[in-house]
């Protein structure tokens, strides 16, 4: 009840969706006013961003990046090309109409060229200034709120938006997201100096997943009946699109690289219960490319398609672990699996989830 939720400057906001979320929480009796604070510097997703998201992705043909088409890429593109609109702009009766007029001159031409429908300036001004009015009560100085909380010793949790290999710089480009999602980007995205962060937790499934068309290379990908079995058992379908996620064996080459890149202090390993019943469990411990053993950074995205994974096989376990709450009660084969991950990545596992509920969590010392 005392928790504050911050939407910082580095977040891009779909105001319509956010307003609906606020309404749904209030209907459930959750007090939002005075607990939700939004940075006025956050950039705003408009309808044309979503249209362009689809147009640009379709234009790539067989090499689509499988965007969610919610406008994230185009809104970030506008941000860095000086055409972005911030939340604060929606409240300015002079600035917003002028900015949207300048932007629509360009967007209309692109959308028309690809056969899209026309955009109405008046409708945009009316609709988005109305969104601004509804969100105004939640606007706050998030920089001050966050830094005061950190400096006064309060618990502050920053949540990453995506997996590390969707990072715009270090991921499998171009099959990535629109921004940097590393923990070090907290400085730019929230205004808190990364030196103040005392713990960085890497969240890792016991297998890999990815939502796309299949264009992005995934060296440990599992296909066929086994992939379908894991997908159904673990309910691995995209939260936004509903599309089935691709499934792969755990790739410790990538996990080790991510640990070094992010300076991970500990790991939280999830979905351990999904592996129950497997006779053996392969884990990727290296790559072979053109006959030579290589690391993740030794090849680019296209060359990653030709990489062959090197697997280490672990004996599986058949015991039901979904009700276990203490690490020492786990089957020996299960513990061997986790302890190898720790040795390979040089990062200790502190949290293991053995089911979807909060109480299905093992805290490992």
User: Do the bridges between strand 308-315 and strand 221-222 make them parallel or antiparallel, or are there none, so unpaired?
Assistant: unpaired
Domain annotation covers residue 211: yes
Give yes or no: residues 58 and 147 share one domain.
yes
pLDDT score for 27: 96
Residues 6+ apart with CB under 8 A from 309: 219, 220, 249, 251, 284, 286, 287, 288
pLDDT band at 96 (very low <50, low <70, confident <90, very high): very high
Residue 117 scores a pLDDT above 90: no
pLDDT score for 5: 96
pLDDT score for 211: 85
Q: DSSP letters of 23-72?
A: HHHHHTT---TTTEEE-TT-EE--HHHHHHHHHHHHTTGGG-----SSSH
pLDDT score for 279: 96
User: Do the bridges between strand 266-270 and strand 201-205 make them parallel or antiparallel, or are there none, so unpaired?
Assistant: parallel
- Using CA atoms, how far residue 124 sits from 7, 38, 80, 212, in Å, is 23, 22, 22, 31
Q: 146-164 pLDDT, tens per residue?
A: 999 999 999 999 998 788 9
**Greater pLDDT, 306 or 213:** 306
Q: 173-201 pLDDT, tens per residue?
A: 999 988 898 999 999 999 999 999 999 99
d(CA 269, CA 276) in angstroms, rounded, equals 15
Query: Cβ(273)–Cβ(316) under 8 Å?
Result: no
* Among candidate residues 355, 352, 318, 344, the one with its CA nearest the CA of residue 333: 318
Q: DSSP letters of 132-199?
A: HHHHGGGB--HHHHHHHHHHTT-------SS-GGG-TTTSSTTSS-SS--SGGGHHHHHS--GGG---
> Residue 241: is it exposed, middle or buried by C-beta count within 10 angstroms (0-12/13-18/19+)?
middle
In the chain, count H helices and then E strands: 11, 14
* Among candidate residues 80, 78, 116, 115, the one with its CA nearest the CA of residue 100: 78
How is residue 199 written in tokens?
């713990």
Strand partners, 315: 280
Give yes or no: residues 135 and 52 share one domain.
yes
Domain annotation covers residue 183: no
User: Do the bridges between strand 266-270 and strand 292-294 make them parallel or antiparallel, or are there none, so unpaired?
Assistant: unpaired
**Greater pLDDT, 134 or 62:** 134
User: Do the bridges between strand 266-270 and strand 349-353 make them parallel or antiparallel, or are there none, so unpaired?
Assistant: parallel
**Greater pLDDT, 211 or 259:** 259
* Domain carrying residue 232: 199-363
Residue 15 scores a pLDDT above 80: yes
Residue 143 scores a pLDDT above 80: yes
**Domain finish residue from 118, 151, 184:** 151
Domain annotation covers residue 157: no
pLDDT band at 67 (very low <50, low <70, confident <90, very high): confident
pLDDT score for 58: 82
HSE at residue 153, side-chain half, CA atoms within 13 A, is 0
Residue 69 scores a pLDDT above 90: no
Residue 315 scores a pLDDT above 90: yes
Percent of the chain with pLDDT over 90: 83
Domain annotation covers residue 179: no
Helix axes 252-262, 332-345, angle to 10 degrees: 50
Domain annotation covers residue 19: yes
Give yes or no: residues 234 and 139 share one domain.
no
**Greater pLDDT, 57 or 132:** 132
**Domain finish residue from 88, 118, 151:** 151
Domain annotation covers residue 173: no
Give yes or no: residues 100 and 239 share one domain.
no
Domain annotation covers residue 180: no
Number of domains in the chain: 2
CATH number of the domain to which 331 belongs: 3.90.170.10
pLDDT score for 119: 83
Dmax (CA) of the chain: 67
Residue 100: enclosing H or E segment and its boundaries?
A: helix 95-113
**Domain finish residue from 151, 186, 216:** 151
Residue 360 scores a pLDDT above 70: yes
Residue 10: enclosing H or E segment and its boundaries?
A: none
Mean pLDDT of the chain, nearest integer? 93
Strand ordering across the sheet containing 266-270: 201-205, 266-270, 349-353, 361-363
CATH number of the domain to which 95 belongs: 1.10.300.10
Strand partners, 149: none
Residue 215 scores a pLDDT above 70: yes
Domain annotation covers residue 269: yes
Residue 66 scores a pLDDT above 70: no
Q: 24-49 pLDDT, tens per residue?
A: 999 999 999 999 999 999 999 999 99
């Amino acid at each position: 009840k005392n928790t504050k939720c911050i939407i910082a400057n580095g977040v891009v906001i779909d105001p319509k969706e956010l307003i609906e979320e606020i309404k749904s929480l209030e209907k459930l009796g959750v007090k939002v006013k005075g607990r939700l604070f939004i940075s006025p510097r956050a950039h705003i997703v408009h309808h044309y961003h979503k249209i362009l998201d689809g147009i640009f992705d379709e234009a790539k043909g067989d090499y689509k990046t499988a965007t969610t088409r919610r406008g994230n890429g185009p809104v970030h593109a506008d941000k860095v090309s000086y055409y972005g609109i911030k939340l604060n702009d929606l409240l300015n009766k002079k600035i917003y109409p002028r900015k949207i007029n300048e932007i629509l001159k360009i967007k209309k031409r692109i959308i028309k060229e690809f056969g899209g429908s026309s955009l109405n300036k008046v409708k945009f001004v009316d609709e988005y200034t109305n969104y601004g009015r509804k969100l105004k009560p939640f606007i706050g100085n998030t920089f001050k709120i966050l830094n005061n909380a950190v400096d006064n010793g309060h618990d502050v949790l920053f949540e990453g938006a995506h997996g590390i290999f969707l990072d715009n710089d270090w991921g499998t480009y171009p099959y990535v997201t629109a921004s940097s999602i590393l923990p070090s980007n907290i400085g730019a995205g929230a205004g808190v100096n990364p030196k103040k962060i005392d713990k960085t937790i890497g969240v890792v499934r016991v297998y890999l997943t990815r939502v796309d068309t299949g264009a992005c290379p995934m060296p440990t990908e599992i296909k066929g009946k086994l992939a379908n079995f894991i997908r159904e058992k673990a309910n691995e379908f995209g939260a936004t699109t509903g599309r089935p996620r691709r499934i792969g064996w755990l790739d410790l080459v990538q996990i080790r690289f991510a640990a070094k890149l992010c300076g991970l202090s500990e790991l939280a390993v999830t979905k351990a219960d999904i592996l129950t019943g497997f006779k053996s469990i392969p884990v990727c411990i290296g790559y072979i490319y053109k006959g030579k053993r290589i690391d993740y950074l030794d090849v680019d995205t296209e060359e990653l398609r030709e990489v062959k994974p090197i697997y280490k096989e672990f004996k599986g376990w058949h015991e039901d672990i979904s009700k276990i709450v203490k690490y020492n009660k786990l089957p020996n084969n299960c513990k061997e699996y986790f302890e190898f991950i720790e040795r390979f990545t040089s990062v200790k596992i502190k949290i293991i989830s053995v089911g979807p509920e909060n109480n299905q969590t093992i805290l490992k010392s």
